[in-house]
Structure 1
Amino acid sequence: MRIDPEHVAEGEVVLIAGPTASGKTQLALDLAEGFQARGRTAMVVNADAMQVYRDLLVLTARPRPSEMRNLEHRLFGHVDAAERYSVGRWLAEVQGLLAEAREDGAAAIFVGGTGLYLKALTEGLSPIPDIVPEIRDEVRARAEREGRDAMLRWLEALDPQAARAVKPGDTQRAVRAVEVKLSTGRSIMDWQSEPREPALVSEAQRFILLPQRETVYRAIDQRFGAMIDEGALEEVEALMARELATDLPAMKAIGVRPLSAYLRGEIALADAIERGKAESRRYAKRQLTWLRHQCGAGWCELHT
């Protein structure tokens, strides 16, 4: 499967979305290489929230230098694991890249599976102010300590409207809604109804990979097993040695927790690998569901 670069105008933006292990990075690289072969320029821009972390080369399947084919890559592995990277910061960095691409007449090829990034890029971002750091730390520490049911009960008491919109078990959304209510005094639902900041990309060629779920699951199982041979354990061991806060985004990357449990001697390696595979499969299922429901008109579906 490939996208013909002749069908992409000079300086155009291309979006390639898909679940983990679907082959979207390969598709983006093939397209960029096709541009290069025709004497045109292109940059491959990361739209994956975990591939921004330099500490997570293996576990996020970030393209290695040897796999980049001498093509220009942006926003891959440029953030330290100790930082709390956000979609707002990503958009700010993307704005500069798009200006650069337009000036050079280069195509900007965005590739990733983080739905919030793609939605913010094409539809704009709700104008929710930054969360007060002390509130954020308090809420996330409590979530870690008390678990998802306690967070949902807390949200129900603070903001019943937002609580009704959170699906059972979606701790991340519950935590976010609590943080917003405590920090701003307003419901996250009110903020989301406000006019959004302007989208950075209104016109773009949009492609979405929608492989069969079983195909993705097989690819995930094969890839996660290979990650162990490629240094995933050493990567997690290095993270553990830094003693970073467990609620940091990088520490929640798929595979970090089960492999950490193995390295602490709590479970067998085979169990850690199976848990990592299961985490990846659940994530891919959520991605496929989101992509099918959120990416509508204007997206070209590629079924594999």
Structure 2
Amino acid sequence: MGASGPAVLIAGPTASGKTALAVGLAAALGGEVINADSMQVYRELSILTARPTAAEMGGVPHHLFGHVAAGELYTVARWLADAEAALADVRARGRRPILVGGTGLYFSALVRGFSTVPAVPDAVRARWRERGAEIGPAGLHAILAERDPAMAARLRPTDPQRLLRALEVLEATGRSLADWQQETTRPLLGAGAWSGIVLTPDRTALRARIARRFAAMAAAGGLEEAARLDALGLDPVLPSMRAIGVPEMIAAARGDRSADDAVAAAITATRQYAKRQETWFRNQFSDWFRVDPLAGEGAALATALGHFGAGAGGAAG
């Protein structure tokens, strides 16, 4: 780990101010920021994923942002490999890693280990993709419920990506994805090597912030970004095509709905996503240090720095 100190992990719902806190902590602690958001990795999605701008980065080095093509299926396993390299790079220069994002599975895999499922043959994947296009996510869920009820009970009937994954793994390996998930790798960050912070904004304030931010995204070229992504002709099941707000803005870019309606629908989808994130962090990271990011200008950073000054640095801080 070196003299840079334990890695700092900052999780929180979308639009809660994670970037500002990460940059502030990096500047104060001699750190560099590593992305832990599954959508901000995509090169073609900077506006609609609120990827940090150069100004927002504040001169602090950032890693794993916009380094993956939208047409790629970027998995948790790939992120772990990229994160391991980024952690080594940051520490080799005596800097402190600050990992920030809203993807709970990334953080969980980082500190608890990750299930390594064998690769699924391309032919199996293509067959299920074709079937999914024919019958939709509800049809996929019905098939999974018949063949693997335990896994089906874990997944929403409106989540085609995970439903397809479960069916592909079942066919390719003969085992339930639920069984594979019981077999985990060694955590990349062990006890004492990290400290975790969860942002817990006031719900009403966060809802207003989400609305303002998405309206700003639209005004900053979000519709045009969606149109460029749509022009690539990618599989609609790919994660990049299902990023929050992207389907709505693509529909508007195609003329299938008005821009105002698309923005309103995207704001609703973002709020629903934030609520799911909050629930996940509350259940999975109950022992992480809590910070209210919207308490007032500079208050979140001061609280976080006070926490570190009080001797944070254990598994949960």
TM-score normalized by structure 1? 0.90
Residue in structure 1 matched with residue 109 of structure 2 by the alignment:
120
Sequence identity percentage: 45
1:16 matched to which residue of 2? 10
Residue 296 of structure 1 is matched in structure 2 by 286
Match 1:138 to one of 109, 117, 127: 127
Q: Deviations over 1:5-33 (max 9, x none)?
A: xxxx7332000000000011110011112
Distance 1:93 1:65 in 2: 22
Q: 2:182 aligned with 1:193, yes or no?
A: yes
Task: Determine the C-alpha separation between the residues in 2 that align with 1:110 and 1:170.
Answer: 27
Considering only aligned residues, what root-mean-square deviation do their CA atoms show, in Å? 1.6
Q: Where does residue 205 of structure 2 map in the other structure?
A: 215
> Do the aligned partners of residues 214 and 142 (structure 1) sit closer, same or farther apart at CA in structure 2, a change above 3 Å counting?
farther
2:41/2:64 contact within 8 Å kept: yes
Consecutive unaligned residues of structure 2, counting only runs of 5 or more, are 295-317
Spell out the pairing of 1:1-304 with structure 2 (5 A cutoff): 10-35=4-29, 41-167=30-156, 169-194=158-183, 196-202=184-190, 203-297=193-287, 299-303=288-292, 304=294
What letter corresponds to residue 259 of structure 2 in structure 1?
L
Where structure 1 has 5 or more consecutive residues not aligned to the other structure, the ranges are 1-8, 36-40
SS at match of 1:15: strand
Please report how far the alpha carbon of residue 296 of structure 1 lies from its aligned counterpart in structure 2 after TM superposition.
Answer: 2.4
Counterparts of 1:11 and 1:106, CA distance in 2: 8
Determine the C-alpha separation between the residues in 2 that align with 1:289 and 1:145: 33
1:38 maps to which residue? Answer: none
Structure-1 separation of matches of 2:71 and 2:34: 22
Q: Residue 23 of structure 2 aligns to which amino acid in structure 1?
A: L
| Displacement after TM superposition at 1:169 (Å) | 4.1
How far apart are the structure 1 equivalents of 2:88 and 2:24?
24
Q: Do 2:40 and 2:65's aligned partners in 1 also have CA atoms closer than 8 Å?
A: yes
CA distance in 2, matches of 1:54, 1:170: 23
How many residues were matched structurally? Answer: 289
Match of 2:107, SS state, is helix
Residue identity opposite 1:119 in structure 2: S
Q: Tell me: CA distance 1:56–1:209, structure 2 relative to 1, closer, same or farther (3 Å).
A: same
Structure 2 SS opposite 1:166: coil
For residue 153 of structure 2, give the secondary structure of its aligned residue in structure 1: helix
Q: Deviations over 1:168-211 (max 9, x none)?
A: 544443332212101211111211222x1111112211100011
Residue 102 of structure 1, CA deviation: 2.8
